Structure 1
Amino acid sequence: MTERRPLVQINTSFPGTEVAAETAATIASTYLVFRKIDSSYSKSLLKHVEQLFNFADTYRGSYSASIPQVQGFYNSSGYADELLWAATWLYHATGDLDYLKYVTEQNGSAFANWGSPSWFSWDDKHAATKVNLVLNVQSCQNGLIWVEEWNCLQHAMSSAFLAVLYSDYMVTSQTEMLYCDGKIYKPEDLRSFSISQADYALGKNPMKMSYLVGYGGNYPQQVHHRGSSIPVDADTGCRDGFKWLYSPDPNPNVAVGALVGGPFQNDSYMDIRNNSKQGEPSTYNSALIVALLSGLVSTSSVPKHL
């Protein structure tokens, strides 16, 4: 593809707290991976994490206000949750109680909405910050967690990831059970729930379709993705892609590893390229299923038969 890809930036005049804080959270988690195997690299990561967080917190402002052209696609509902999310990761990385106080005291009452349910998504980090397990919710007819019709797998994968994460915490902390909404759950219950969501996404569903592109023998062929649907040698501009958008042919480039939006609540899926509600993949979808599958195969509470 030969179209222009202009770059934009956030700075002190045009802040983007969500972007800076989310990046800080990401690098803080990377620091935790490398701190025992590469001390020099991990120290550099931690230095930049703290700089990014200070920038995000000092120059508060929504990135979608500073960069208005994104408002029609990824308009932010607010930056407060990203600040809490980043501070939580910084506390986990450093053990500095100031970051814990930032979340629980200084900004918790103003930003956290502790008593209100929320979802872990690209735009909302409250559930992940609280490590709040969401089990008592609507589902598809065959068991997939279902919140809304636009990109439903985002919520299913995030709920499953938080469940497997918390099940691991229960095992390592020797917490035998969790009491939630009048029901008792053991670590294996949470893990079974997580496995059921992963199984559904990978093909154990009424459509017998893997929603992870490239996995299995039956996966979406008309993914709503420009790089996947336009031939690699096409000489095209930004507005020239409609002939491929409405083409009945499968995508010429397979977006291996992309997790699409997923089914409607009746478990149906329409594999049509302009069906962006169901067929649009995203980096945050793929990140969630990678996290979920990694947790299922590598954490301390993995059953022996896996």
Structure 2
Amino acid sequence: MAKANILLIFLCSLVLLLLGGVRVEGNPNYRDALQKSFLFFQGQRSGKLPANQKVSWRSNSGLSDGSLDHVDLTGGYYDAGDNVKFNFPMAFTTTMLSWGTLEYGKRMGPQLQEARAAIRWATDYLLKCANSKPGKLYVGVGDPNVDHKCWERPEDMDTVRTVYSVSSSNPGSDVAGETAAALAAASLVFRRVDPKYSRLLLQTARKVMAFAIQYRGAYSDSLGSAVCPFYCSYSGYKDELLWGAAWLFRATNDAYYYNFLKTLGADDQPDIFSWDNKYAGAHVLLSRMALLGKDKNFEQFKQEAESFMCRILPNSPYSTTQYTQGGLMYKLAESNLQYVTSISFLLTTYGKYMKAKKQTFNCGSLFVTPNSLIGLAKRQASDAFNSFLMPRTMN
């Protein structure tokens, strides 16, 4: 089972804790935790580090990445404690960083610049992966089967830096769709502060999404043991096509992406949101048009988003979610907190959309208000945060 890096997704919960009205000073200090989360990203950096690098014990690494295929694939982030760059979860992390920044950036204070820097470190690398060779999308660097047998600093690594890619003959609609989502979401983050860079991100996102749509297939099937069992595409690639098209529609308002979304349908019933399964995130993102834009064409996605909430809320008659005795959401045994925090982000964001238009909905006999969702998200994120500090108190 692949191990997603909890802290990458945990940042989203730190954002909602900081901005959702809970205390930010005292013990624990969530503002300080948010700042330290960005330091974590610096600690995971690959490539030539900038002069303003704050994590001083890290140095340049992976400077030959891509050379085996005569391209430059330096940069990006290492995964977890590995020296491997897995683009599938890295791109999802980038999408979520961008979404969090778009929703809550105005209240991040000085950490907004750190958020943009963290996003750009990833997107600079993803641009290289998408534009280095026509017809190829690079999706990773480093052989995980070799790397995981050798525990060493990235500055000292001596394992072969194998490069992996998808193409028309070896498709990867899932990783391509997620890469397109990351680039499109980031283009919105930089639209006002760096318009030229934003245009490059969006142009590349369009190209990568076209590749994902035209050449259908799961990257797990194309790359086998290079990505499985580490980051297999267990949910298939339809969710990434939906997710990528949703972000491109938000970034462009191009009817092409809306029409494509309609061909995918909205009949899935997820009760999870993660680097692998994006359905719920896409539904919440698209529901924004129905709630804030009052566009009836997106009503089906609003209904799907609310059905997801009904499967999460503990008192809902339609709930499919387990909770521990201490009240923490329990989804999967391995790296459970990544699901807790990513779902909490959706709860908070949908609650924010509802509150803006004074909306409510029902899960059968359960009356759901914006505060129902936001309150649950705050409790989950607080418990997740405290479990790092006091793991024995969690039942």
TM-superposed CA distance for 1:125, in Å, is 0.9
Alignment counterpart, residue 377 of structure 2, candidates 194, 211, 217: 194
How has the CA–CA distance of structure 1 residues 121 and 181 changed in structure 2, closer, same or farther, with 3 Å as cutoff?
farther
1:77-122: CA deviation from partner (whole Å, max 9, x where unpaired): 311110011001111111112212211x2121xxx433x2331112
- Matched residue type, 1:98: Y
2:8 matches 1:8: no
- Matched residue type, 2:256: D
For these two proteins, the number of residue pairs brought into alignment is 206
Within 5 A, what are the aligned runs for 1:214-225? 216=389
Partner of 1:233: none
Report the Cα distance in structure 1 between the residues aligned to 2:221 and 2:270, rounded to whole angstroms.
26
1:262-297: CA deviation from partner (whole Å, max 9, x where unpaired): x9xx945xxxxxxxxxxxxxxxxxxxxxxxxxxxxx
Report the Cα distance in structure 2 between the residues aligned to 1:99 and 1:156, rounded to whole angstroms.
30
Partner of 1:183: 366
- Matched residue type, 2:176: A
Partner of 1:113: 267
Report the Cα distance in structure 1 between the residues aligned to 2:229 and 2:335, rounded to whole angstroms.
17
Report the Cα distance in structure 2 between the residues aligned to 1:80 and 1:190, rounded to whole angstroms.
27
Report the Cα distance in structure 2 between the residues aligned to 1:33 and 1:74, rounded to whole angstroms.
27
Cα RMSD between the aligned structures? 2.0
2:258 matches 1:74: no
SS for the counterpart of 1:8 is strand
Within 5 A, what are the aligned runs for 1:55-70? 55-69=211-225, 70=227
2:324 matches 1:140: yes
1:163-208: CA deviation from partner (whole Å, max 9, x where unpaired): 1001111122x223232232112222211111101110111xxxxx
Partner of 2:198: 42
Alignment counterpart, residue 351 of structure 2, candidates 146, 167, 177: 167
Report the Cα distance in structure 1 between the residues aligned to 2:271 and 2:258, rounded to whole angstroms.
21
Partner of 2:277: 124
**Matched-pair contact (CA < 8 Å) for 1:62–1:76:** yes
TM-superposed CA distance for 1:13, in Å, is 2.0
Gapped regions of structure 2 (runs ≥ 5):
1-151, 285-304, 314-318
- Matched residue type, 1:86: G
TM-superposed CA distance for 1:75, in Å, is 2.1
SS for the counterpart of 1:10 is strand
**Matched-pair contact (CA < 8 Å) for 2:347–2:377:** yes
SS for the counterpart of 1:113 is coil
- Matched residue type, 2:169: S
TM-superposed CA distance for 1:27, in Å, is 1.0
Which protein has the bigger helix share?
Answer: 2
Report the Cα distance in structure 2 between the residues aligned to 1:26 and 1:181, rounded to whole angstroms.
36
Gapped regions of structure 1 (runs ≥ 5):
204-208, 211-215, 220-262, 269-306
Report the Cα distance in structure 1 between the residues aligned to 2:371 and 2:243, rounded to whole angstroms.
27
Q: TM-score, normalised by structure 1?
A: 0.63
- Matched residue type, 1:113: D
SS for the counterpart of 2:367 is strand
**Matched-pair contact (CA < 8 Å) for 1:171–1:187:** yes
SS for the counterpart of 2:329 is coil
**Matched-pair contact (CA < 8 Å) for 2:340–2:384:** no
SS for the counterpart of 1:73 is coil
Partner of 2:259: 101
Q: TM-score, normalised by structure 2?
A: 0.49
